[in-house]
Structure formats: C-alpha cells, structure tokens
Structure 1
Amino acid sequence: MKHRSPPKAVVFDFGGTIVAGNGFDDIRGNRRLLELCTSNPHDADEYRIKEEALRIDAELMMPLRDNNLDFSIQLFQHLLYDGLQMKFSVDPQEMELEFWKSATDYRPMPDAATMLDSLRRMGISIGMLSNNAFSSETIRRELARHGLDVYFSFIVASSEYGICKPAKRIFDIAVAKTGCARADVWYAGDIFAVDISGAHAAGLTPVWYNPQDKTPDADIGHISVRSWREFIGIVCDEH
C-alpha cells in the first residue's frame, strides 16, 4: 500500500505478534488457584471448575464477543468462584496473576526485541492494544519477564474498557494515548479480520504480521510483513 506518512507511533497487538503463546492450560491454572483456596464446600476440583467455566463462557462470553464487547478475567473469576461458593487467601488481582503464570507460556517473537529497540532509537512512540481478558498490569508483567515492557509507553487491554477489536472506539483510545494524529499511527497485528480490518476502519495504517504469508481476507490497503526485520526495513525506508 502507499503509506500516507511515516509513523510517529506504532501500536502492537500482544499474542501472536510480539509474543507467541504455547497453548493455554486452564487445568494448571485451576490447580494453582486451588492451592490458594480457603473454602471449597462442594469439593470442586480443577475439572469441575473447568466445566463450570465453559458453561459461563458459552452462556455469557461468546455473545459478548460477537458484539465486540469484553469481560475481565477478574469479573469472570468472581462469577465462577462465587457460584461454586469458593473463597481464596489472595485478592482478585493476585488470583488473576497466579492463574496467568500457571496457565500461560509465552516467548518473544523472533527479532521482536531488536525491532522495538530500533523503533525507540528512531524516536517512534510504542504502545500496545490487545484483545485480552487479563489486565494491562498482568500483560506488562509478562512483557517484563522477557525484557520487553520498557518499550511500551502504554498497554490497552480490551477487558479494562469493555470493548474489543475490531470496534473502532478501542482503536480511538490507543490513538489518543499515543498523543499523535491518527494519520501518523500504524497498528500491527497478526489476525486480519480483527487487527487489519479494524485498524483500517479506524483510519490507522494497518501492518499485518504474517510469517506464513497467508492470503488476505479482504481487499483493503495494508502493509504485510513476514518478519520483524522486514518491518523495520520498511519503517527505515519511510523515514
């Protein structure tokens, strides 16, 4: 695509873009929270908890997502565990974090750190916008594990706003946080229908992180890159 202007800010997706996830093990997460449980009158084990979580997800979460709405993991856990009459020795934020640490396994995408460092040295503002039930605090902690948190001036987690990509309003929030004009903001993500279509509709320059060189879902203007090295080359050319 013909770029309207070089980026003054680049906003990134989280999973599948800056980091790669090696599955989501909710059973391990449930087991960790059971270690912190102080009252479990129905003797719910990790599998019973998962069954109830799946029911809540089907009844409430999926209809919300279909309408670009979101729900935080803390509210989800409140609904789940109060329904099972379970109590815990830690507060909701700590429950969220302990579940995350046990259920998830992330690693940085190849050359992500090098790319982020290059952007920072060019004076380009860097942010993150993620469709994520977990909080920006938890996401930042994960980035910190890999030495990547220092690059991000802000993190917008959809669950903290109740709306998710591809809704335009969540992109508007990210643009506002950059402090830049919309035309100067690029958005990079890996899911075409959510990240690229959403960014395009919001008036940002979409960058599709597309290592497998997939075919676009729609004929809309975007930049496609197979690696972060390729991306930084494009940014350097624009500057």
Structure 2
Amino acid sequence: MIQYLWFDLGYTLVSTNREDVYQKVLERFDVFRNREEIAIAYHRADKLFMREYPGVLGKDSRAFFPWYIGTLNYFLRLSLPIEEVLEVQRDVARECPIQWKAFDGAKMTLRHLRSLGYRLGLISNWDESARAVLARNGLDEELDEIVISSEVGIEKPNPDIFRMALSQANVTASESLYIGDNYYDDVVGCQKVGMHCLLINAYGNRGVEELSYHPIITGIQDVAAYLGHPRVQLEINR
C-alpha cells in the first residue's frame, strides 16, 4: 500500500518562464511563435536530451546550451545564427530573468495529498539553489524529506540516491510512489530499487513516443485521482 509520495523538482513541482523569454528573443529577429508553440518545442528538446544525452541537462549549461538552442530552433522550424541568438538571449534575460516558479496549484495539491494521509518527499538532481527554490515557492514546508543530489553526491538514476531517501524516511520501496518528468532518470532509477513510478508528460506521449506502456499523467494534480482519491479543486488566479 502506498504511504509515501516522492517528487522530482524541475518540471514536476516548478517550471520557468523560459517561453516568455524566448518569445522576446525571437521578436528581436522579427520572428513570431506563440507561447504554446515555444512550450512544445522546449518540451520536445528536453525529451530528446533526456533520451539521447542522459544527465546533460543537469550540468553547467555552458557545456550544452548552444547545442540545445539549435535543437529548440529545429523544433520551431527556424534557422537562426546560434551565437547571435545566445547574445540576444543574454540581453533579454537581463530585462526578464528566467525564474523557477511553482506550477499553478502545486502547493495546494501537496497539501491535499498530505490531508489524505500521505507523507511527501523530494528526490532531485539539482545544484545548491534547490532549497532556495523550494523556500521561495513555499514548497519546503509541505515536504517531510528532501534529498538533493548536490548535497549527497549521488545523482538519479543511481539507485543509491533512492535507497538513501527511503532510509531517511524509514519507508520501504513498495510503500513509495515516485513522480517525475524524466523517464531515464526518474522511472529507470526508482524501478531499480522496486519503487512504483508515475511519469509526468504534459503533452500525452509527445516526446516519449519510444516508450512502451507506462503510467503517464499530465501533472501532479492527477496524482490523487491515480491513487483513487478525488482530485483537488484548484483555485488558480490567472
């Protein structure tokens, strides 16, 4: 019986305003793509990198960002000079910084799951900014255990980071469910220790077409329903 819910951080609990920033970048080149087109292109680029280059997205962006931007533009059906794009992006980011913000309803969803009797934890591949991101969004107070790769020196999909989290929480793998957006880090990693897992993919199977059947949800707001409980009614200000 599931007693403990573990979450990834990036694009599970929090996301950035990167679509808004890149839309402004494209405008400098007299190019228009709507926000949804840009979001889907980012999603597809993320999934491609997760599949083909495991671990790269969690490293210093200077090592891969030109390569990533080229992939992003490919999915946007654009051919733009990469170095100029990067220069413009740095300029735009000074005016409109990229920030990590909790998904709409994330905090309320965590509270709802706690009210149902579940304990909640975090297992994330993240640098030393993770706790600041959690605190700024009020998510740290909803979590019973927090395990961050930069603090423990182990990264997903290494099963040891999952074993460490289970030990800290005094819970078994069979009593745990992990929720994350990266199949190759999250699903593969937690399954090595016998944990159940839900894959978040906001666009159905888009970007993960290569996978055989695996439980997929569109976001953490679907976790309660997956576990057989009423879905929380989110009060979202737009």
TM normalised by structure 2 equals 0.59
Q: Following TM superposition, by how much is the alpha carbon of 1:216 offset from its aligned partner in structure 2, in angstroms?
A: 5.4
Aligned to 1:106: 100
Measured at CA, do residues 140 and 236 of structure 1 come closer, stay the same or move farther in structure 2, by a change above 3 Å? farther
Match of 1:17 among 3, 12, 36: 12
Paired residues for 1:51-62 under 5 Å: none
Match of 1:228 among 199, 216, 220: 220
User: Following the alignment from structure 1 to structure 2, what is the Cα–Cα distance between the partners of residues 180 and 225?
Assistant: 24
1:190 aligns with 2:177: no
Aligned to 1:45: none
Paired residues for 1:1-239 under 5 Å: 5=1, 7-23=2-18, 105-134=99-128, 138-214=129-205, 215=208, 217-219=210-212, 222-237=214-229
Once the two structures are aligned, what percentage of the paired residues are identical?
26
Q: Following TM superposition, by how much is the alpha carbon of 1:161 offset from its aligned partner in structure 2, in angstroms?
A: 2.1
Aligned to 2:43: none
Contact 1:10–1:124, Cα closer than 8 Å, also in 2:
yes
User: Following the alignment from structure 2 to structure 1, what is the Cα–Cα distance between the partners of residues 102 and 55?
Assistant: 31
Larger radius of gyration: 1
Contact 2:124–2:149, Cα closer than 8 Å, also in 1:
yes
Amino acid at match of 1:204: M
Superposition RMSD on alpha carbons, in Å? 2.8
Q: Following TM superposition, by how much is the alpha carbon of 1:217 offset from its aligned partner in structure 2, in angstroms?
A: 4.3
**Structure 2 segments unaligned to the other structure (5+ residues):** 19-52, 61-95, 231-238
Secondary structure at 1:213's aligned position in 2?
coil
Deviations 1:211-232 (A, max 9, x none): 1112354437x43111323221
User: Following the alignment from structure 1 to structure 2, what is the Cα–Cα distance between the partners of residues 231 and 18?
Assistant: 12
User: Following the alignment from structure 1 to structure 2, what is the Cα–Cα distance between the partners of residues 67 and 217?
Assistant: 19
Q: Following TM superposition, by how much is the alpha carbon of 1:108 offset from its aligned partner in structure 2, in angstroms?
A: 1.1
TM normalised by structure 1 equals 0.58
The structure 1 segments of at least 4 consecutive aligned residues displaced by more than 6 Å after TM superposition are 65-68
Measured at CA, do residues 66 and 206 of structure 1 come closer, stay the same or move farther in structure 2, by a change above 3 Å? closer
Amino acid at match of 1:236: G
Amino acid at match of 1:210: N
**Structure 1 segments unaligned to the other structure (5+ residues):** 24-64, 73-101
